[in-house]
Amino acid sequence: MPVPTPATTPRPEYPRPQFVREAWLNLNGVWQFEIDRSDTGLERGLRERELTGSIVVPFCPESELSGVGDTDFLEAVWYRRTVTVPAEWDDSRVLLHFGAVDQDTTVWANGVEVARHRGGFTPFTADLGEVAAAGEELTLVVRARDTRHGPQARGKQATWYANSHCHYTRTTGIWQTVWLEPVPRSVALKRPRITPDLASGSFFLELPLSRNAPGHRVRATLSDEHGTVVSAETRADLGLSPRLALTVPEDRLRAWSPADPHLYDLALDVVDADGAPVDRVTSYAGLRSVAVDGKRLLLNGEPVFQRLVLDQGYYPDGLMTAPTDAALVRDIELGLAAGFNGARLHEKVFEERYLYHADRLGYLVWGEFGDWGCEVGARDDNQRPDASYVAQWLEAVERDYSHPAIVGWCPLNETYQNLHDRITQLDDVTRAMFLATKQADGTRPVIDASGYAHRVLETDVYDSHCYEQDPAAFAKVMHGLAQDRPHVNSGPEGRTWSVPYRGQPYFCSEFGGIWWDPEAADAAGDERDASWGYGERPRTAEEFVERFTGLTGVLLEDPDMFGYCYTQLTDVFQERNGVYRFDRTEKVDTTVLRRAQLRPAAFEDAE
């Protein structure tokens, strides 16, 4: 497949909207590229020589948009590009940022190793130090390994050649934006942590720094459409992470919510002892709270029923990478149009620009990792929990901590293993991920694992997955919550997978998945067997709507349920159980689905 030369830089938008510097250089576009199927490229000199092919970054080589389109197993891949460091960066350190590279990455700059990173979902940065000189050429070489043999969190990526059921085309190598950024050599801001506190009408800021220098100060300025709201500053020479509080005057206070997703602008400055500017970044913040009241989850002190949809973030041409920024916006708009007010961001760590759009559009989301069905001892599956899970998950939480749209964390999904009186590696990793999340973020609820194996007694939220297709039978399965006997997933022959329910907020976090494939419904034979979903395939759109309405109605009519998550927003390859097709076109009139998700007025009044 000939590699296209984009007329403009693909994915040109700034990739990190909550931590923005004015100067940066987008490195998306055509790179040299070579597949290294046996991972012998280092020995064969690929690091030193020109590569034989080319690829469009940030799209993975399995995708159409990359211009490569190779969906076979790629044990390792190599990238090479020479760029000129802007001459105006002459008084700066240069940072090289990768949004995400799958899976095990080594980076060289001008022949010097500058970074190693393990994990396919989270960002990392190489400090180029003295390697990058302003006005001079810089040659970057990247090797990404994506082995099937060692433990790896990979989400829904297939470990055999072809797609089947809910296993999808693999992603190897670079799949998010790559960019260069200059930062001051003296003192530079690192990523801030912005904690909203609605009770006091304040934002608490942690402002980590690269180093301390005598007399330096940090300043934070919050503003809205009317101008400056509040400003504060403190010394930057007494600690590596100065803290500031910004209390919003009552007449300028607006809480962030789906009904009013108000965002304040935030400017962060470092100044030296003479008051001269040293570093500046811009950000934004939303003032909101998340709390637990019995079985209810509260947003800003009030219950908001969470009508979530499962969003797996796959695209026909870009796979895990959205073809454009507008495509990210469109997916949120599609969810809202169908009556959902949020999503479980399922089995991958989404591009951060998705979260930016969720913040500004008021779309509730649960942050999740890509580790579906991990278990200890699986012989044919390398998705096994180990210490790398904890490390990568903490990188994801750190990146996304300050986004107001995130209302909960879900580090694991559908773990499989019997619960017994011997502690296992899965128990250790589950507890480690839960405790690490609670330490990293004490402001949001954490569910230890979505569906199947709840292994942490003190999990903030409890849930189950149920794909029963008959609404009457579904109601019988889900009826026990009022008596503190909710549906709990169990293993074969009724084996126990989970610790007991203890009165936490509860929701059915996967249900529906109705196998609705309008094109195949009229076909026969092999054409009918080319897709799959849950239950018997509806014969008409009316039958689909009737089943959708019945299933959602069971959960909407339960006053003890704080929300649900319907499977799923779009079809993904052969999995045809989306509200929309894989190309995002409608299968049914979404206004009908929106009306079907209206909660009984009695419950709304009680809330």
Q: What is the pLDDT of residues 290-315, one digit of tens each?
A: 999 999 999 999 999 999 999 999 99
The yes-or-no verdict on residue 525 having pLDDT over 70 is: no
pLDDT in tens, 208-238: 999 999 999 999 999 999 999 999 999 999 9
pLDDT at 601 over 80: no
Provide the 8-state DSSP code for 514: B
* CATH number, domain 193-285: 2.60.40.10
* Domain spanning 290-606, CATH class: alpha beta
Q: Where in the chain is the domain with CATH 3.20.20.80?
A: 290-606
345-361: pLDDT as tens digits? 999 999 999 999 999 99
Q: What is the mean pLDDT of residues 282-286?
A: 98
Q: How confident is the model at residue 406 (pLDDT cuts 50, 70, 90)?
A: very high
What is the reported pLDDT for 377? 61
Torsion of CA 297, 412, 430, 352, to 10 degrees: -80
Instruction: Return the pLDDT at 524.
Output: 56
In the predicted model, is pLDDT for residue 76 greater than 90?
yes
| Residue 607: pLDDT over 60 | no
**What are the distances in angstroms from CA 182 to CA 126, 127, 605?**
12, 10, 54
Q: What is the pLDDT of residues 499-515, one digit of tens each?
A: 999 999 999 999 999 99
d(CA 71, CA 30): 19
- Strands (E) across 391-461 are located at 406-410, 413-415, 450-452
The DSSP letter of residue 380 is S
Residue 109 has pLDDT above 70, yes or no: yes
Category of 265 on φ-ψ map: left (φ > 0), alpha (ψ -120 to 50) or beta: beta
DSSP for 15-43 reads S-TTSB-S--EE--EEEEEEE-TTS-TTT
What is the CATH topology of the domain spanning 25-184? Answer: Jelly Rolls (2.60.120)
Residue 368's pLDDT band (cuts 50, 70, 90): very high
Tens digit of each residue's pLDDT (9 = 90 or more) over 29-51: 999 999 999 999 999 999 999 99
Residue pair 580/589 in contact (Cβ under 8 Å)? The answer is no
pLDDT score, position 381: 72
Least confident piece of the model among 26-35, 482-491, 563-572: 482-491
Work out the pLDDT band at 420, boundaries 50, 70, 90. confident
pLDDT at 390: 96
**What is the chain's mean pLDDT, rounded?**
94
Mean pLDDT of all residues in 241-268: 98
pLDDT score at 444: 98
Residue 374 — pLDDT band, cuts 50, 70, 90?
Answer: confident
Contact between 347 and 375 under an 8 Å Cβ cutoff? The reply is no
pLDDT at 600: 79
Stronger pLDDT, 516 or 149, i.e. the higher one: 516
Cα 78 from Cα 105, distance rounded (Å): 10
Burial class (CB in 10 A: 0-12, 13-18, 19+), 400: buried
What confidence score (pLDDT) does residue 602 get? 63
Residues 6+ away with beta carbon under 8 Å from 315: 321, 322, 323, 327
Average pLDDT, integer, range 355-375: 95
Is residue 478 classed as helix, strand or coil in its secondary structure?
helix
Look at residues 399, 397, 373, 398 and name the one whose alpha carbon lies nearest to residue 385: 373
8-state DSSP, 598: P
Q: Which of 88-102, 146-160, 169-183, 435-449 has the lowest mean pLDDT?
A: 146-160
SS percent in the chain: helix, strand, coil, step 5: 20, 30, 50
Q: Name the DSSP class of 359.
A: H
* Range list for CATH 2.60.120.260 in the chain: 25-184
H or E element, residue 496 = none
Angle between helices 471-478 and 541-556 (to 10 degrees): 20
Residues 6+ apart with CB under 8 A from 481: 295, 506, 558, 560, 561
pLDDT confidence tier of residue 317, bands split at 50, 70 and 90: very high
**Cβ count near 381 (within 10 Å):** 17
Per-residue HEC secondary structure of 301-354 comes to: CEECCEEEEEECCCECCCECCCCCHHHHHHHHHHHHHCCCCEEEECCCCCCHHH
For residues 43 and 7, give the distance between their C-alpha atoms in angstroms, rounded to a whole number.
36
pLDDT greater at residue 606 or residue 103: 103
What is the share, in percent, of the chain residues with pLDDT greater than 70?
96
Domain(s) labelled CATH 2.60.40.10 in the chain stretch across 193-285
To 10 degrees, the CA torsion angle through 401, 404, 409, 411?
Answer: -50
Q: What is the pLDDT of residue 149?
A: 77
Share of the chain above pLDDT 90, in %: 86
Question: Distance between CA atoms of 402 and 32, rounded to whole angstroms?
Answer: 36
606 pLDDT more than 70: no
pLDDT digits (tens, 9 = 90+) for 152-204: 899 999 988 999 888 999 999 999 999 999 999 999 999 999 999 999 999 99
